[in-house]
């Protein structure tokens, strides 16, 4: 007879945290959200080789994780997994761009030649939205620098638009410049000392390398949790599949990727075991997560196969219709709880700690705290990040509201059938994801700051100052449908609706 789980499976919405004793040292300033990302021999006293400063990763999805979002999230202390449903070259180029990005050093993307007109300049500024323009001999981002022109140097309506840029720019002779190799701190000092708003950095031939802006020079002070590798480059992840990994993995490693994950709606498969084995034997230092699974059997299988972390979740994603289409899945909270128990048992038996990631189905910020309390080491979010300025999609107006587009990797739009066909032939006839809009929500920084602040405050209510203690000591209660209603504003006429996130 089939194995039947007699208990219904639950979602995060059906649980709440019950406070624990909050001692005098249990204050937000003392809370750390640092968390392990990959397996390590904890019992032997090893240190985890890759940790994050906040327990949040962005989903392996076209509508979510490109290089821009990856930089924004690494600044906050988390990791993006750049989507794999694209050519190996494109994906590796995105990883390389993240690794090349130097905090505070900006490659100029609005450039002009001195003999071009103010009209052309205004056009360029409108296109990029950047008001400081490098004037180079050949009009390229790395051409020989001849001046800088900003919107403040000429007055629209008072200047002839046919006049030349060279008549209005600050010429080279009056510019304060930095030499190749200058550090951000030195650039920052120069900007303050010379009272300038930007500092072009040039090589020995006078060719433009970067611009450092006054506002960005302080960037690393504003981002104390930024996640950097040993060479001070941002940490970045990437999604891979079970087909082309022998080509994709070396390209990503070459581009500098720090961690990868097999990206599949269902990971309890021979394909994933083989991929993990092949990759680890060819590139022993490559860090590879695997999944997704929803029970102890799935976790143990991937743990034995060598997964560096295991992702949990089938059918819980906001754009996911796998449960409707195939009847496969499990409530995300139940899946997380069971896999966490299996992870702890595996640790007891082997001394190896394998981090687990609760992937999909996070709707409210407190769901992140619940997932951690249930044993997850970090979460993966799609819808959440898709709403921000930094996600790869356009901001649109629909019915008078700003929205961004968000589509599943199993939707026709993503045309990523490989991911869903268990390693078999291409072209399944049904979709497992939808194409949708999500409400636009502003900048990643503002939202992540708010979310982590809620997690930190909830942890203080639980009487803990770090994630391992939350996992050990949290008290969690199931709630009834009636008490859910009690949890929101009720039986009053609300004046201004406060929307929970
Ligand atoms: P959510 O954060 O709820 O939007 O869920 C994102 C997760 O949904 C992804 O990390 C992935 O596991 C899953 N996903 C992505 N595409 C699809 C699909 O098309 N069914 N599902």
CB of 291 closer than 6 A to ligand 1? no
Considering the domain delimited by 111-218, tell me its CATH architecture: Roll (3.10)
Beta strands in 365-429 (DSSP E): 378-381, 395-398, 401-407
CA of 409 to the centre of ligand 1 (A): 7
Mutate which of 237, 319, 420 for ligand 1 pocket (most atoms within 8 A of beta carbon): 319
CB 212 within 8 A of CB 178: yes
CB of 338 closer than 6 A to ligand 1? no
The arithmetic mean of pLDDT across residues 223-248, rounded, is: 94
Q: What percent of the chain has pLDDT over 70?
A: 95
CA of 316 to the centre of ligand 1 (A): 7
Residues tagged active-site: 320, 419
Q: What percent of the chain has pLDDT over 90?
A: 77
Q: What is the DSSP string of 194-244?
A: TT-SEEEEE-TTSBEEEEEEHHHHTHHHH-TT--B-TTSPBP-EEEE-SSS
Q: How far apart are CA 137 and CA 114, in angstroms?
A: 7
Instruction: Tell me the three state secondary structure of residue 284.
Output: coil
Closest CA to 17 of 267, 282, 314, 374: 374
CB of 359 closer than 6 A to ligand 1? yes
Instruction: Reply yes or no on whether the pLDDT at 424 is more than 50.
Output: no
Q: Which residues contact 491 (CB under 8 A, 6 or more apart)?
A: none
The arithmetic mean of pLDDT across residues 146-157, rounded, is: 89
> How confident is the model at residue 217, as a pLDDT?
64
Residue nearest to atom 21 of ligand 1 (CA): 320
The arithmetic mean of pLDDT across residues 326-332, rounded, is: 95
Residue 318 Cα: closest atom of ligand 1: 3
CB 177 within 8 A of CB 205: no
CA of 453 to the centre of ligand 1 (A): 25
Closest CA to 84 of 238, 220, 213, 260: 238
Q: Which helix or strand (DSSP H or E) is residue 483 part of?
A: helix 481-487
Annotated binding residues for K(+), written as ranges, equal: 315, 317, 320
Cβ atoms within 10 Å of 215's Cβ, excluding its own: 12
> How confident is the model at residue 418, as a pLDDT?
54
Residue 59 Cα: closest atom of ligand 1: 10
Q: What is the DSSP string of 5-57?
A: --SPP--GGGEEEEP----TT-SGGG----EE-S-EETTTTPPPS-EESSSEE
For 69-114, the pLDDT digits (tens) are: 999 999 999 999 999 999 999 999 999 999 988 767 877 777 899 9
Q: Is the dihedral of CA 32, 37, 42, 45 positive or negative?
A: negative
Instruction: List the beta bridge partners of residue 380.
Output: 57, 359
CB 307 within 8 A of CB 352: no
Confidence grade of residue 125 (pLDDT, cut at 50, 70, 90): confident
Residue 383 Cα: closest atom of ligand 1: 4
Q: How far apart are CA 253 and CA 288, in angstroms?
A: 12
CB of 53 closer than 6 A to ligand 1? no
For all residues of the chain together, what is the average pLDDT? 92
Instruction: Reply yes or no on whether the pLDDT at 352 is more than 50.
Output: yes
Q: Is the pTM of this model over 0.95?
A: no
Domain 12-103+226-487: state its class.
alpha beta
CA of 318 to the centre of ligand 1 (A): 6
For 441-490, the pLDDT digits (tens) are: 999 999 999 999 999 999 999 999 999 999 999 999 999 988 888 888 88
Contacts 24+ apart (CB under 8 A), 274-277: 274/242, 275/240, 275/242, 275/245, 276/302, 276/305, 276/306, 276/307, 277/305, 277/306
The arithmetic mean of pLDDT across residues 208-228, rounded, is: 82
CB of 360 closer than 6 A to ligand 1? yes
What are the residue ranges spanned by the domains of the chain? Answer: 12-103+226-487, 111-218
Q: First-to-last CA distance in the chain? A: 43
For 8-60, the pLDDT digits (tens) are: 999 999 999 999 999 999 999 999 999 999 999 999 999 999 999 999 999 99
CB of 342 closer than 6 A to ligand 1? no
What angle, 0 to 180 degrees and rounded to 10, lies between the N-to-C axes of helices 270-282 and 296-305?
Answer: 30
CB of 320 closer than 6 A to ligand 1? yes
> How confident is the model at residue 422, as a pLDDT?
44
CB 118 within 8 A of CB 154: yes
Residue 265 Cα: closest atom of ligand 1: 12
CB of 411 closer than 6 A to ligand 1? yes
Q: How far apart are CA 43 and CA 212, in angstroms?
A: 45
Q: Which residues contact 408 (CB under 8 A, 6 or more apart)?
A: 61, 317, 319, 320, 321, 414, 431, 432, 433, 434, 435
Confidence grade of residue 420 (pLDDT, cut at 50, 70, 90): very low
For 285-316, the pLDDT digits (tens) are: 999 999 999 999 999 999 999 999 999 999 99
The arithmetic mean of pLDDT across residues 385-412, rounded, is: 94
> How confident is the model at residue 179, as a pLDDT?
93
CB 363 within 8 A of CB 333: no
Mutate which of 408, 430, 436 for ligand 1 pocket (most atoms within 8 A of beta carbon): 408
Q: How far apart are CA 227 and CA 179, in angstroms?
A: 26
Cβ atoms within 10 Å of 166's Cβ, excluding its own: 16
Q: Which helix or strand (DSSP H or E) is residue 140 part of?
A: none
């Amino acid at each position: 007879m089939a194995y039947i789980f007699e208990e219904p499976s639950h979602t995060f919405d059906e649980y709440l945290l019950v406070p624990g004793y909050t001692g005098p040292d249990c204050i937000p300033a003392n809370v750390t959200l640092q968390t392990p990302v990959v397996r390590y021999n904890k019992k032997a006293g090893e240190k985890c080789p890759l940790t994050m400063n906040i327990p949040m990763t962005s989903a392996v999805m076209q509508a979510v994780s490109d290089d821009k979002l990856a930089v924004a999230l690494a600044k906050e202390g988390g990791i993006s997994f750049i989507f794999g449903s694209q050519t190996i070259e494109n994906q590796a180029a995105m990883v390389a761009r993240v690794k090349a990005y130097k905090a505070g050093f900006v490659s100029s993307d609005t450039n002009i030649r001195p003999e071009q007109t103010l009209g052309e300049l205004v056009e360029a500024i409108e296109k990029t939205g950047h008001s400081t323009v490098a004037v180079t001999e050949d009009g390229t981002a790395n051409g020989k620098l001849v001046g800088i022109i900003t919107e403040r140097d000429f007055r629209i309506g008072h200047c002839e638009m046919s006049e030349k840029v060279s008549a209005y720019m600050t010429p080279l002779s009056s510019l304060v410049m930095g030499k190749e190799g200058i550090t951000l701190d030195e650039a920052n000092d120069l900007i303050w000392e010379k009272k300038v708003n930007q500092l072009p950095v040039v090589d020995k031939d006078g060719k433009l390398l970067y611009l450092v802006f006054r506002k960005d020079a302080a960037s690393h002070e504003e981002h104390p949790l930024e996640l950097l590798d040993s060479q001070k480059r941002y940490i970045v992840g990437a999604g891979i599949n079970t087909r082309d990994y022998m080509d994709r993995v070396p390209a990503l490693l070459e581009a500098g990727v720090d961690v990868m994950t097999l990206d599949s709606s269902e990971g309890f498969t021979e394909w994933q075991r083989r991929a993990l084995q092949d990759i680890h034997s060819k590139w022993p230092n490559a860090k590879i997560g695997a999944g997704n699974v929803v029970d102890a059997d799935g976790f143990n299988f991937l743990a034995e196969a060598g997964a560096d972390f295991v992702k949990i979740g089938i059918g819980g994603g906001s754009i996911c219709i796998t449960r409707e289409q195939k009847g496969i899945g499990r409530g995300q909270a139940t899946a997380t709880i069971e896999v966490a128990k299996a992870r702890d048992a595996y640790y007891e038996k082997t001394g190896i700690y394998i981090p687990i990631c609760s992937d999909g189905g996070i709707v409210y910020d407190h769901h992140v705290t619940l997932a951690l309390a249930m044993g997850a080491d970090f979460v993966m979010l799609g819808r959440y990040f898709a709403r921000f300025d930094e996600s790869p999609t356009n901001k649109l107006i629909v019915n008078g509201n700003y929205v961004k587009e968000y589509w599943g990797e199993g939707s026709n739009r993503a045309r990523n059938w490989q991911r869903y066909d268990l390693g078999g032939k291409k072209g399944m006839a049904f979709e497992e994801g939808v194409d949708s809009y999500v409400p636009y929500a502003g900048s990643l920084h503002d939202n992540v700051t708010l979310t982590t602040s809620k997690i930190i405050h909830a942890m203080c209510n639980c009487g803990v100052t770090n994630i391992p203690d939350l996992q050990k000591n949290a008290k969690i209660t199931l709630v009834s449908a009636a008490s859910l209603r009690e949890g929101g504003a009720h039986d009053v006429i609300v004046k201004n609706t406060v929307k929970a996130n």
